[in-house]
Amino acid sequence: MTEPIVENHYGVWVISNDPITGVESNNHVFWLGEEISNGIDLAYEEHILECEKCQKDEHCEIVENWEYSGDILIGDWIKDSDGLWDYDPEGEYAAICGEIYTQVIYSKYTRKCALCSPCYPGQGDIGSIGEFLTYVLPPELVGTELELQDLGE
């Protein structure tokens, strides 16, 4: 067995055989839209907590016309005792979906990837091949090559 690689990746120490957060381009995830529609919109959650009308279960025009904005939590999440979201260690996966990239912070699925650019210190580039064990999205979420061909890609 080879010795693990230990590297300081833009200020974050990583060890090649300890899973790290994976970063995936959103346009590489076939079923992402479906997951987002069932996800947790953090901006929406914050609005509900701060809006006086929402607190009183009154009509809120902002909620009525809400469109996704900011980061969406997809996968398996739980709220801790402070009301903060954390990944469910018993779940299949947990990821944060932004406008362009999804960060997989926990998953039952991993693969070896290269490290990301400085934009994502200590995280693995899911679209690459490398030495660092990286959390990835479940295969059924990413889609198959055949499904992508059906879209003309």
Q: Which residue has the higher pLDDT, 141 or 46?
A: 141
Which range marks the domain in which residue 65 is found? 6-150
Average pLDDT over residues 133-153: 72
| 69 inside domain | yes
| 1 inside domain | no
C-beta neighbour count of 41 within 10 angstroms: 19
| 67 inside domain | yes
C-beta neighbour count of 145 within 10 angstroms: 8
Contact 29, 153 (CB under 8 A): no
| 97 inside domain | yes
| 19 inside domain | yes
pTM: 0.85
- The full DSSP string for 104-147 is EEEES-EEEEEE--TTSTT-EETTS--SEEEE---HHHH--HHH
| 45 inside domain | yes
Average pLDDT over residues 3-15: 96
In the chain, the number of structural domains is 1
- Looking at the chain, the whole-number percentage of residues with pLDDT higher than 90 is 59
The span from the CA of 14 to the CA of 106, in Å, is 16
Question: What type of residue is 131?
Answer: E
